[in-house]
Chain A
Amino acid sequence: AQTVTQSQPEMSVQEAETVTLSCTYDTSESDYYLFWYKQPPSRQMILVIRQEAYKQQNATENRFSVNFQKAAKSFSLKISDSQLGDAAMYFCAYLKWNTPLVFGKGTRLSVIA
């Protein structure tokens, strides 16, 4: 079974600084999808960014970008110019064709003013 590992249970960052959240996954597949979801205190799960494994270019969404290293099975999330509203739980997730998402256990990000 696929596994997703987020090795940092908690992280903190100063407002306006940059932080990187780590994620590694285990798979023998060559075609799959990777996601980062954000869960603020409201509990709502929000998609931050999505990466297709066959695309070599790293996905970006405004201040959020990923470093996708397929050979290393690594998928880190970089948040630039951190804002107070970025404080949340962040979940990395893996998806292969016709199977459900597999989530990591999450990283709690605190933003310090």
Chain B
Amino acid sequence: DAEITQSPRHKITETGRQVTLACHQTWNHNNMFWYRQDLGHGLRLIHYSYGVHDTNKGEVSDGYSVSRSNTEDLPLTLESAASSQTSVYFCASSSGTGAEQYFGPGTRLTVT
């Protein structure tokens, strides 16, 4: 069955370190998204991609970067982790506009 996976599921890192969160989907979807979820804020969009080599900034992109070298993967990099980036991160994918977004299980990141 097709799926979307995220790794790691939990990570603790120190302030200033570079961190990469992996997202891999086997749906063959063109569209992929990264969100962060914080209490009182719902899900906020960090970056998204509509295809290979396409990336776009979302609402809260500062301090994050993505690159899309193939259809299946959209890794999220925190260049220099900050305590404000402690959050739960969700990756999602969809086949196109209006289509359901399928979400990964989430990664809980703690920056100490």
Check: A44 CB closer than 8 A to any chain B CB.
yes
Which residue of chain A has its CB nearest to the CB of B47?
A100
Specify which of A45, A50, A100, A105 is in contact with B45 (CB 8 Å cutoff): A100
A-B contact count (CB 8 A): 41
Q: Is B48 within 8 A of A100, CB to CB? A: yes
Contact pattern, A 89-107, Cβ under 8 Å of B = 1, otherwise 0: 0010001011011111110
Report which of B40, B42, B48, B88 forms a contact with A103, defined as CB distance below 8 A: B42
Task: Kindly state whether residue A33 has any CB partner on chain B within 8 Å.
Answer: yes
A50 close to B101 (CB less than 8 A): no
A98-B48 Cα distance, complex, nearest whole Å: 11
Residue from the list B40, B92, B100, B101 in contact with A105, Cβ < 8 A? B40
Selected from A100, A105, A106, the residue in CB contact (under 8 A) with B33 is A100
Tell me the dominant secondary structure on chain B's binding face.
strand
Q: Which of B28-49 contact A (CB under 8 A)?
A: 33, 35, 40-45, 48
A52 at the interface (CB under 8 A from B): yes
Contact call B101/A44, Cβ cutoff below 8 A = no
B97 within 8 A of A: yes
| Chain A residues within 8 Å of B45, by CB | 100-102
Check B98–A33 contact: CB distance below 8 A.
yes
Alpha-carbon separation in the docked complex, A98 to B50 (Å) = 9
> Which residues in B have their C-beta under 8 angstroms from that of A50?
100
Residue among A33, A45, A97, A106 making CB contact with B103, cutoff 8 Å: A45
Partner of B42, one of A43, A95, A98, A104: A104
**Which of chain A's residues have a CB closer than 8 A to the CB of B48?**
100
Q: Which residues of B contact A (CB under 8 A)?
A: 33, 35, 40-45, 48, 50, 58, 88, 90, 92, 97-98, 100-101, 103, 105-106
Question: 8 closest pairs, A vs B, by CB?
Answer: A45-B103, A105-B42, A103-B43, A103-B42, A33-B98, A97-B97, A43-B106, A106-B42
Q: A43-B88, A52-B98, A97-B97 are in contact. List 11 more A-B contacts (CB 8 A).
A: A33-B97, A43-B105, A43-B106, A50-B100, A91-B42, A95-B97, A101-B45, A102-B45, A103-B42, A104-B42, A106-B42
